[in-house]
Chains A and B, each alone.
Chain A
Amino acid sequence: MSTPPTNDDHAHDEPVDENLPARDDLFANPGLPEHHWRPTDVDPKAEKRAERQVATLFGLSAVCTILLIVSYFAFEIGEDPDVIGGFGASNLTIGLSMAGMLLFIGIGIIQWARKLMADQEIVEYRHPAASSEEDRQATLAALNAGLEESGIGRRPLVRNSLLGALGLLGLPAVVMLRDLGPTPHQVGPDKKIDYPGAGIEHTIWAKGMRVVRDVVGTPIKPSDLEIGDLVNAEPEALFNGGEDGEPLEGVVLQINKSKGAVVVVRMEPDDIIPGKGRENWSVDGIVCYSKICTHVGCPISLYERTTHHLLCPCHQSTFDLADSAKVVFGPAARALPQLPLEVDSEGYLVAQAPFDEPVGPSFWERG
């Protein structure tokens, strides 16, 4: 049994903890196992072999680096790159040669460490994490002397006014973030910030606004829809609601898409269970609901025509479109807001009135 080599000879005594049983060794510590020489330590041939292996690995890395640079210039990228096995040639060759370049260095270094560097374990003694009692006393004394000389204990007025002033420093850190955005009360019709459809409790929908197909913006006639059809629709104003009837653009368009999107479905008129006061909100079995989930605001898209259920793909809230879009399953707590429909003089579907409640997820002030 060899005495382990050490870096340090100052072992520490363990602090005694009277709450716990003393640590006891049932067997004498057998000490570190004997060190065994590796073949590379005693056989010059094995040593040379390991040396060559390591150098070869480093050499392979260098080859990969060259390959990386060659493939960077050799392969076109773009949508239709030369394809190797379904991967873009550029991505694949640059990536593989980069992997080789790095892995061969890593494997080489580790092989070097394992085969050629000294492999005898050494021992170091631990010290308690705490400083020595002497250091602690000296620090305490220095701290007390410093505090004493500052007079912070004797001058509560200075101390407390400083603490108060420092405490207030936190306020600007919050207050100065105020202009990150307007408050909800500053955005809306006739408010400081106004644009078509502005305000958390409003959408761009208005009485008589046509319900148009999304993307293309064409109006919908009741006769266009078969029973069981679902159409993703938008308010017509998205396509002509800007100045001089221009389509909305940019932020205003995005905000209104995120609030105004609706689904229009047609079902057997007898299947509809009209809500109280909603008896005339449908046209020939066609009903229209907000597409924005009342849970956390995903657009809802999965419709099951036999059950009239609409399922949110994000968290699986399910709404019954035949029954005022009430929640039949999932984490949503409120029915989808319904848009009352009628037909205009040209026979197209229009809103009878805007939504009578805010669309989308719940919020504190919603009531």
Chain B
Amino acid sequence: MVDTSKVATSNTTTAATAKKPSRAGAIATWADERLGLASMAKKNLRKVFPDHWSFMLGEIALWSFVVLLLTGVFLTLWFTPSMGEVTYHGSYEQLRGIHMSEAYASSLKLSFDVRGGLLMRQMHHWAAMLFIASMMVHLLRVFFTGAYRKPRELNWVIGSLLLLLGTLEGFTGYSLPDDLLSGTGVRAADGFVKATPVVGTYMSFFLFDGEFPGEAIIPRLYTIHVLLIPGLLLALIAAHMLLLVYHKHTQWPGPGRTEKNVVGFPMLPVYAAKAGGFFFIVFGVTALMGAVLSINPVWKYGPYDPSKVTAGSQPDWYMGWPDGALRIMPGIESHFWGVTLSWNVLLPILVLPMLMFTILLLLPFIDAWITGDKREHHLLERPRNAPTRTATMVALMTMYGLFWAAGGNDIIAIRLHASINQITYFLRAAVFIGPVIAFVITRRWCISLQRKDNDDLLHGYETGIIMRSAEGGYSEKHLPLAPSRAYTLTARDRDPVPNGHHEEVDANGLPGPAKGRFTGLRNRIRTVWYADNVQKPTPEELAAGHHHAEHEHELQSPMDGHAADGHQFDGHHLVEDENLRSH
């Protein structure tokens, strides 16, 4: 197996050459005789995990979830999920003697009268932000590199559900302290529920056990927050991990790395050590944030009072985009047959997020339907090599970002001394126009990068050496790419024939029967999907390019070995003793 002849002796002398069964071996034997784990562990202990910085993003999400569980358990020991009214007598002087709910009073107690309580509260909140942010960035990584393609579509669906549940978990969590800000959020949520057609008021009365605010919502949110959603999250995370292990991780193409293998470090010891060490780093960074970065200082907001509100009320950032949609939606309401339909709440809060989420869930299936690609994919694609896919996500991100900005339209107005009305009118149009512009720019940008790759392959890379010919003309010297680089750049699939009609042609070359109602539509979309994409060079183009390069190289051959041969920068020979100017 691995050549460990020179590996640090501290590793090899003890473990590998142990003479009698070690203690670890004895424990493993004991366990195997009862659990029979050896046949499964045999494969997995040395399971290979490829290395790349972007594969760490999902790990941040996983470990911040563990931090959430640990800090969350600590918080439950003191937090009282009750809306019963008490008078505050704790350490925070400004609120002493004030009536408040037990939930709020116990949040103050955690912040001021339990040592480490404020730290745990802040770590819990920061870990929640980290959890959701890293899930989002991980999702983008998976999408931009095409890692969601067959056979990993179901893991994409599980991941999307995790993001949705994580968001709900965040909302139920920051509603628990029952401070003025969170109470305002719950009240807005009541408004959303009431806007639901037909059953809205019933749902509101069931949720709050009568009229808002009632006495039931905090205990109910608490059960959802500490039991229901964490249970679902745990189960889905387990499924996510199991599928990851079963499919084996994707990898970037490169020398020795193909669709059929996976190259990397074994689970034991390197990957286990790196991932385990990374857990401590995520945990430690969260502790650092909890120590020095204040978050959600509930004592400053005061207890919830339904007749009060603070200016600049804003939900946590991940709830910002539906809130932004709510802000810029025109106030439209329909009244007919004695009922009311509040489009101004219904569309931005109930329809839009569900629509966006459904699109997110379906992305892998939409992609497979458009491309007709039924192969397994284990090599990642560079974003530039799927221009339309990349542009689609950038358009969605742009829309998200603009909605998110709309969620802070009051803050933008104050900071920029601009009119909130004009900002709102601008954003109403921008959420539709912005994604289109972003789509076009991204797509063309990707295609330009594809062209650049082909230029490098066919004509070599730019050395930065300017040549002057005998006639006095100037040109830049190009040199061929290193073999490993050229292999990596071309380790990608060619796109199907862009007109998309090839599959409808039968054996005689005649159009076959239409395969389904949407085949025509699909082919039109497919044409647009691949239009203008640049394919990697054909062998003929490559040969022609090399021929041209050889000719050029011949002309420049007298330079070889001299400083100006252009090899200073690609490591072909050392440059320490050379001085370009002296030649």
Contact = CB atoms under 8 A, between A and B. Distances in A.
B360 interface: no
B259 interface: yes
B188 A26 contact: no
Interface in A1-53: 4-5, 7, 11-12, 14-15, 17-21, 23-33, 35, 37, 40-42, 44, 47, 50-51
A44 B7 CA distance: 10
B306 A261 contact: yes
Given A106-B277, A363-B200, A19 B291 contact: no
Contacts of A315: 323, 326-327
B112 A77 contact: yes
A102 interface: yes
A102 B210 contact: no
A165 interface: no
A299 B211 contact: no
A315 to B, nearest CB: 5
A142 interface: no
A171 interface: no
Given A32-B263, A129-B246, A79 B92 contact: yes
A118 B4 CA distance: 7
A65 interface: no
A187 B248 contact: no
B466 interface: no
Nearest to B378: A126
A193 to B, nearest CB: 7
A14 B258 CA distance: 12
Nearest to B372: A19
Nearest to B118: A91
B37 interface: no
B301 interface: no
B542 interface: yes
A351 interface: no
Given A26-B539, A258-B212, A364-B340, A123 B263 contact: yes
A96 interface: yes
B286 to A, nearest CB: 8
Contact of A298 (B188, B209, B258, B278): B188
Contacts of B255: 29-33
A180 B335 CA distance: 30
Nearest to A111: B277
A287 B68 CA distance: 50
A121 B85 contact: no
Contacts of A128: 151, 376
A294 to B, nearest CB: 9
B415 interface: no
A47 B311 contact: no
A295 B487 contact: no
Nearest to B325: A331
Given A98-B291, A180-B206, A333-B333, A78 B201 contact: no
Contacts of B341: 364
Contacts of A297: 187-188, 190-191, 212
Q: Which of A42, A234, A298 has the most CB of B within 10 A?
A: A298
B213 interface: yes
A119 B114 CA distance: 46
Contacts of A155: none
Nearest to B330: A331
B344 A258 contact: no
B75 interface: no
Interface in A83-120: 87-88, 90-92, 94-96, 98-110, 112-113, 115-120
A121 B265 contact: yes
Contact of A177 (B206, B214, B338): B206
Contact of B195 (A115, A251, A361): A361
B11 interface: yes
B277 A107 contact: yes
A123 B256 contact: yes
B284 A103 contact: yes
Contacts of B176: none
Given A32-B256, A98-B287, A296 B281 contact: no
B307 A257 contact: yes
B48 interface: yes
Interface in A158-208: 177-178, 180-184, 187, 193, 198-200
A5 B381 CA distance: 26
B256 A33 contact: yes
B283 to A, nearest CB: 5
Contacts of A112: 273, 277
Contacts of B307: 214, 232, 234, 257-258, 261, 291, 299
Contacts of B533: none
Interface in A227-260: 232, 234, 249-251, 254-255, 257-259
B291 A91 contact: yes
Contact of A120 (B3, B274, B483): B3
Given A30-B487, A257-B306, A330 B331 contact: yes
B77 interface: no
Contacts of A249: 85
Contacts of B213: 251, 254-255, 258
A116 B537 contact: no
A199 B210 CA distance: 9
B373 interface: yes
Interface in B54-105: 83, 85, 91-93
Contact of A33 (B283, B312, B484, B497): B484
Interface of B: 1-4, 6-11, 46-48, 51, 83, 85, 91-93, 112-116, 118-119, 122-123, 150-151, 184, 187-188, 190-192, 194-202, 204-216, 246-248, 255-266, 269-270, 273-274, 276-285, 287-288, 290-292, 305-313, 323, 326-333, 335, 338-342, 344-345, 348, 372-376, 378, 409-410, 420-421, 424, 483-484, 486-487, 490-491, 493-497, 503, 536-537, 539, 542
22 contacts: A21-B494, A23-B259, A26-B486, A35-B3, A77-B114, A95-B287, A98-B119, A99-B285, A108-B277, A109-B274, A112-B273, A117-B8, A117-B269, A180-B207, A181-B208, A182-B209, A187-B205, A249-B85, A299-B306, A314-B313, A316-B327, A362-B342
Given A25-B491, A98-B119, A251-B210, 9 more contacts: A14-B375, A18-B503, A95-B287, A95-B292, A124-B263, A183-B202, A315-B326, A332-B344, A364-B197
A-B residue pairs, 4 tightest by C-beta: A95-B291, A296-B191, A106-B280, A109-B277
